[in-house]
Amino acid sequence: MEGKQAIKFDRYNSQMIKGIAIVMMLFHHMYLSQERFEGLNVVFTPFSADRIMYLCRTFKICVPIYAFISGYGLYLSYRKNNSTPGKWTAKRLIKTMGGFWIIWGLSVVILQLYNGYAVTRYFGNGNIAKGVSAMVLDFLGLAKLFGTSTLNGTWWYMSAAIIFIICVPLFMIKEEYLVFILVAVAAFPRTISMKVMGITGIYAFLPVFLMGMCVAKYDLFNRWFKIWNAGMKHVFKFLLELLAVFILYKAYRILPLTVYSEIHWGVYPIVFMAFCCEFINVLPGVRQILLFLGKHSMNIFLIHTFIRQYSFVYVSGYFLTNTLTLLLASLAVSIALEWLKKVSGYNRLIQNICVKAEQIM
């Protein structure tokens, strides 16, 4: 390795990438469009508002980044699995949903006590049966899948996470055909209609999830990291990857999403992740910050939308410090939440449920 420590796409690097992705998500949700900050006198100096909004729209790649990492990690997890597909699936679903359930429960209680929003959201149509079913489906993370009311629109990704987990044992039945499954899944919407499948829906991120599984299967990231990893070749590799990221960033505006979704939400985020792993995550100090953010990224994702709705987030006026305010506020809530889960025995409860589920399956 020419005296240089090898970079690996391990759980630490994936966690750092999650840290980057959650910051991108905050920027995306704060400055996606003019309506997000209209009347709040946000300052974008030395950039124009249009340039920052375009940049933040491209930060939508944070979603395929999470989908890719899920595919990568779930593939490796399933390969190590010594139990039945049913037991593995049950355990993964409970572990994934465990972090969501406590936030859902606290959100329902707090919002109902604060302004009665929970009852209004679920039972606003006056139909008790539909309201109860909406609550149950939202609790199970299936609101997006069934098109029912949800307490938080950002929680739509929980439906995707559930679908991803359920699909892994199905895809692994014919693991040797994983690449062909990827091609078929990517091509399928085009045989019907992008509008029918919903380009912004759950299905849209299934191809990049499968890309994650394929990259894990063939160890493509780690193979790439071993190439030109020292000396002037590494400098050339840095320039090459930086150029690729820039070209794909520009292509995001030019190439229509409905035709080139695999480039927008497949090639672009993968190249971006490779660049970050080799040249961003290795920086001293940055590494520790990203690891910490990655650890709390799930909680921040689930709660930041509630916090963003309050104008104090934009009180500084400057777009960077506004986002930092949202990040710190969300992070503080996440830290408090992790403390609550520990002292209340919630983490132990989820572990016990996992054990019981495995025994039943």
Lookup result for tokens 């986002």 = 323
pLDDT category of residue 8 using cuts at 50, 70 and 90: very high
State the pLDDT at residue 85.
Answer: 92
Structure tokens at 309: 């709705």
Average predicted confidence (pLDDT) for the chain: 91
DSSP string, 218-281: TTHHHHHHTTT-SHHHHHHHHHHHHHHHHHHHHHHHHS-TTT-HHIIIIIHHHHHHHHHHHHTT
Mean per-residue pLDDT, 93-119: 95
* Residue 357 predicted with pLDDT over 90: no
Question: Which DSSP string corresponds to 72-111?
Answer: HHHHHHHHT--S-HHHHHHHHHHHHHHHHHHHHHHHHHHH
pLDDT digits (tens, 9 = 90+) for 169-199: 999 999 999 999 999 888 776 655 444 444 4
Among 63-77, 188-202, 259-273, the least confident range? 188-202
Q: Could you give the C-alpha distances from 248 to 20, 198, 238, 260, 330, in angstroms and in order?
A: 18, 23, 15, 11, 30
| Predicted TM-score of the model (pTM) | 0.93
Query: With left for phi above 0 and alpha for psi between -120 and 50, is residue 2 left, alpha or beta?
Result: left
